[in-house]
Structure 1
Amino acid sequence: MAGKPLRIVCVGKLRTSFWKEAAAHYSRRIGRWRPLDVTEVRDGDAGLDTAQRNSQEGRRLLEALTPQDVPIVMDERGSALTSREFADLLRKLDLDATGRPCFLVGGPFGLDAAVRAVARRTLCLGPMTLPHELARVLLLEQLYRAECILRKVPYHH
């Protein structure tokens, strides 16, 4: 069963080698079952205050969306799901006749309200604040775990 293509649009590049390696690891595994596109938009300008930077990054995230994207915002204010609930959400998105699931991940200062406003769904990766690079890797790991759950493939614990 091949699922719909997935897309992740995120602020900034992964700079640390172990985050890059982890992201590549899970991206390859997901890629065995469905296409995965990761789009990185440029970080906000360092000279701006936090609100201006978030606004700039938010505009870049929104400009990267296509009409076929179904925006799912990753934000600490979102709903927490178990891995099985997340897999079920992915299954439902696959059955939805319209659009491609597109996960939006902000930068180190979070997301602008304009980005949260376009979300079809807002999810969190847990109640703790995570570095944005770790959040991206954790999202990839959970997407891979969801694929394993949906395909009844054993996942190493």
Structure 2
Amino acid sequence: MRILLACVGRLKAGAERDLVARYLERARASGRALGFGDVQMLEIAESSARRAEDRMAEEGAALLAACPPGTFLVALDPRGRNLPSEELSARMARERDDGRPAICLVIGGADGLSDAVRSKASLLLAFGAATFPHQLVRVMLAEQIYRAMTILSGHPYHRA
């Protein structure tokens, strides 16, 4: 099972990009033994449409196109569920065991996610009520992917 982190916008070189790369590389290395294949980040171009609704629609279509058929789609959305890391990792394992080809975790653009993405998502996930910069959300999500691998492998990285 592949894990894809699909995000609107390009993360510039710097500390955030380095952290995302580090967590995804660690997840990739840990995940192989657990039946998770490649872990990769896909960056979707920001729409240049004038209206926010049009930007969200264009970006949403690109995000959905980036996810393979049969994907377990997780959309980061402030209206989503706050899940403990253990529950997210258990859900990832369940989807792997059910034979899903991929888990696609998506982060929308500055205007948010389109209704099309939200309606197709199997899980709407939130990191609390606070608003975070997109760069940090990407780091946090990459870390949660790595944390899920450590939980599933029984590694001591994850402590309550």
Q: Are the structure 2 counterparts of residues 30 and 42 from structure 1 closer, same or farther at C-alpha, using a change threshold of 3 Å?
A: same
Report % sequence identity. 33
Q: Which of residues 108, 115, 118 is equivalent to 2:117?
A: 115
Please report how far the alpha carbon of residue 37 of structure 1 lies from its aligned counterpart in structure 2 after TM superposition.
2.0
Q: Which of residues 11, 16, 29 is equivalent to 1:19?
A: 16
What does the per-residue CA deviation read over 1:36-93, in whole Å, with 9 as the maximum and x for residues that have no partner?
A: 0211110011x51222211221121122222142211111111110111111111212
Deviates more, 1:87-96 or 1:109-118: 87-96
Q: Which of residues 135, 138, 155 is equivalent to 2:137?
A: 135
The count of residues paired between Structure 1 and Structure 2 equals 153
For residues 140 and 58 of structure 1, the distance between their equivalents in structure 2, rounded to whole angstroms, comes to 20
For residues 113 and 131 of structure 2, the distance between their equivalents in structure 1, rounded to whole angstroms, comes to 13
Structure 1 regions of 5+ residues with no counterpart?
none
Q: Which of residues 76, 85, 88 is equivalent to 1:86?
A: 88
For residues 132 and 120 of structure 2, the distance between their equivalents in structure 1, rounded to whole angstroms, comes to 22
Aligned alpha-carbon RMSD (Å): 1.6
Alignment check: 8 A CA contact 1:108 1:131 kept: no
Structure 2 regions of 5+ residues with no counterpart?
32-37
Q: Are the structure 2 counterparts of residues 117 and 156 from structure 1 closer, same or farther at C-alpha, using a change threshold of 3 Å?
A: closer
For residues 142 and 60 of structure 1, the distance between their equivalents in structure 2, rounded to whole angstroms, comes to 24
Q: What TM-score does the superposition give when structure 2 sets the normalisation length?
A: 0.88
Indicate yes or no: 2:62 matched with 1:60: yes
Alignment check: 8 A CA contact 1:148 1:155 kept: yes
In the alignment, which residue of structure 2 is the partner of 1:44? 47
Q: What TM-score does the superposition give when structure 1 sets the normalisation length?
A: 0.89
